[in-house]
Amino acid sequence: MKKLISIIGTTGIGKTKLAIEIAKHFGTEIISCDSRQFFKEMNIGTATPSKEELAEVPHHFIGNLSVQDYYSIGQFEKDAIQKTGELFQKHNVVVLVGGSMMYEKAVIEGLHDLPEANEENQRKLEQLLEEDGIEKLQNILQNLDPGYFDKVDKDNPRRLFRAIDIIWQTGKTYTENISAQMNQRDFEVIRIGLQAPREVIYERINQRVDLMVENGLLKEAESLIPFKNNLALQTVGYSELFNYFDGTWTLDFALEEIKKNSRRFAKRQLTWYRKEENINWVNFENPVEESLSILNAVMR
């Protein structure tokens, strides 16, 4: 059976480098399931792989969209599964990498048969977000489905929009909607998780934000001000800087908020991965050797 090696872990821990080394070892290609790296205008703030890294191994689903495009997780599942099928015709192994937990889940397990987004609901939710802020959406979802609210990325409007929309359409909680059986995949999944002490993860995040600023994050974010209300930009690293550009926050405060919100996201990632049972964990200090040892044992 064909093998899909999924590289996971918190933001800033080194998934890109590990994925490239593993892909080079097996002579294969990489599918990105990082939902923020889909957008070509957001390279710096999403830590998109560099040109040099992209040249080492063929990557798919990086910079393939514009922030003006609407792209659902359901569409990603269809596109990613089609791409894995194409790649498996050439390779026995394909590498998947990214820290967007639901997008990884969409590829390795599949999504439930949920209705497409309702345009009227989307407009209503966008208006609530614009007029009352994300807290309003958080409160709505918490009241409708407290179980899912505990697990969802609460600072990601896309996730909140989707869950509330589905609840409004079906009259069932989002948790009930996603409890149905999903289709089986025709490939075997081997998950490799990068782990590090929490203080190391947080320090890496802080350093990465500083590096992003050095690399031109402010200029990138400023160029995206005309699109700041687009869903793709309601995300860490950009929304904070928009508050700086409109005079609400100082630059120092905005940068500290980026670091804080990135650390909060890493904490949610850790919580998510702790509940998963089929992850082979490797140490961040020696990930390539440990990963290949696991993979060689599993794939004999």
Rounded-to-integer distance, Cα 22 and Cα 286, Å: 13
User: Which residue numbers belong to the known binding site for substrate?
Assistant: 11-16
Amino acid at 174: Y
Nearest one of 13, 16, 63, 57 to 37, comparing CA atoms = 63
User: Which residue numbers belong to the known binding site for ATP?
Assistant: 9-16
Place of tokens 């639901």: 102
β-pair type (188-195, 279-283):
parallel
Burial class, 121, CB count within 10 angstroms (exposed 0-12 / middle 13-18 / buried 19+): middle
User: Which residue numbers belong to the known binding site?
Assistant: 9-16
Give the strand order in the sheet containing 188-195. 59-60, 30-32, 93-97, 3-8, 188-195, 279-283
Phi and psi for 195 in degrees, rounded to 5?
A: -130, 150
Beta-ladder partners of 282: 194
**Tokens at residue 9, please?**
């872990």
Amino acid at 21: E
